[in-house]
Amino acid sequence: MALMRRQSLVKFDAPLCETIVETPRPQGREVLVRIERCGLCHSDLHIQDGYADLGGGKRLDTTRGMTLPFTLGHEIAGVVDEVGPDVPKELIGAKRAVFPWIGCGQCRDCANGDENLCAKQRFLGVSIDGGFATHVLVPDAKYLLEYDPLPVNQAATLMCSGVTAYGALKRLVDRPRQRNLLLIGLGGVGMMGLSFAQAMFRQPVSVADLSAAARDTALQNGATTAYDPSEPDVIKRILKETGGGFDEVVDFAGNEKSMAFAVAVVARGGKIVVSGLMGGQFTLPMVQWVYKRMTIEGFMVGTLAEGQELMALARAGKIKPPPMREEPMADVQKWIDELRAGHVVGRVVLTN
> What does the alpha-carbon distance between residue 320 and residue 196 come to, in Å, rounded to a whole number?
9
What SS3 class is residue 264?
A: helix
Binding mask 62-101 for Zn ion (x = CB under 5 A): ----------------------------------------
Q: Which stretch binds Zn ion (CB under 5 A): 111-119, 229-237, 242-250, 344-352?
A: 111-119
Burial class (CB in 10 A: 0-12, 13-18, 19+), 71: buried
Q: Which is nearer to Zn ion, 110 or 158 (CB)?
A: 110
Q: Which stretch binds Zn ion (CB under 5 A): 102-110, 187-195, 286-294, 337-345?
A: 102-110
Q: Which amino acid is at 342?
A: G
Residues 6+ apart with CB under 8 A from 83: 26, 30, 31, 32, 89, 91, 92, 141
Q: Which is nearer to Zn ion, 107 or 210 (CB)?
A: 107
> What does the alpha-carbon distance between residue 148 and residue 169 come to, in Å, rounded to a whole number?
25
Q: Which amino acid is at 62?
A: T
Count of beta carbons in the 10 Å neighbourhood of residue 331: 14
Q: How far is the CB of 158 from Zn ion (least distance, A)?
A: 11
Q: Which is nearer to Zn ion, 187 or 245 (CB)?
A: 187
Q: Which stretch binds Zn ion (CB under 5 A): 78-86, 114-122, 186-194, 334-342?
A: 114-122
Q: How far is the CB of 349 from Zn ion (least distance, A)?
A: 12
Residue 103 in the binding site for Zn ion (CB under 5 A): yes
Q: Which is nearer to Zn ion, 24 or 105 (CB)?
A: 105
Q: Angle formed by the axes of helices 163-170 and 188-200, to 10°?
A: 50
Residue 110 in the binding site for Zn ion (CB under 5 A): yes
Q: Which stretch binds Zn ion (CB under 5 A): 29-37, 65-73, 154-162, 314-322?
A: 154-162
Q: How far is the CB of 326 from Zn ion (least distance, A)?
A: 17
Binding mask 9-28 for Zn ion (x = CB under 5 A): --------------------
Residues in contact with Zn ion, counted by CB under 5 A, come to a total of 8
Select from 79, 91, 94, 107 the one that contacts Zn ion (CB under 5 A): 107
Strand partners, 102: none
Q: Report yes or no: 143 and 130 within 8 Å, Cβ to Cβ.
A: no
Q: Which is nearer to Zn ion, 118 or 152 (CB)?
A: 118
Q: Going along the chain, which residue ranges are E strands?
A: 3-9, 17-22, 31-39, 51-55, 58-61, 70-71, 75-83, 95-98, 135-138, 144-145, 181-184, 205-208, 225-227, 246-251, 266-274, 295-298, 324-328, 347-351
Residue 324 in the binding site for Zn ion (CB under 5 A): no
Q: How far is the CB of 231 from Zn ion (least distance, A)?
A: 31
Q: Which stretch binds Zn ion (CB under 5 A): 152-160, 196-204, 238-246, 301-309?
A: 152-160
* Gyration radius from the chain CA atoms: 20
Select from 35, 41, 72, 339 the one that contacts Zn ion (CB under 5 A): 41
Q: Report yes or no: 275 and 262 within 8 Å, Cβ to Cβ.
A: no
> What does the alpha-carbon distance between residue 272 and residue 194 come to, in Å, rounded to a whole number?
16
Q: Which stretch binds Zn ion (CB under 5 A): 38-46, 216-224, 230-238, 327-335?
A: 38-46
Q: Which stretch binds Zn ion (CB under 5 A): 109-117, 176-184, 254-262, 272-280?
A: 109-117
Burial class (CB in 10 A: 0-12, 13-18, 19+), 9: buried
Residues 6+ apart with CB under 8 A from 58: none
Strand partners, 8: 17, 71
Select from 160, 163, 250, 277 the one that contacts Zn ion (CB under 5 A): 160
Q: Which is nearer to Zn ion, 126 or 249 (CB)?
A: 126
Q: Which is nearer to Zn ion, 91 or 300 (CB)?
A: 300
Q: Which residues bind Zn ion (CB under 5 A)?
A: 41, 43, 103-104, 107, 110, 118, 160
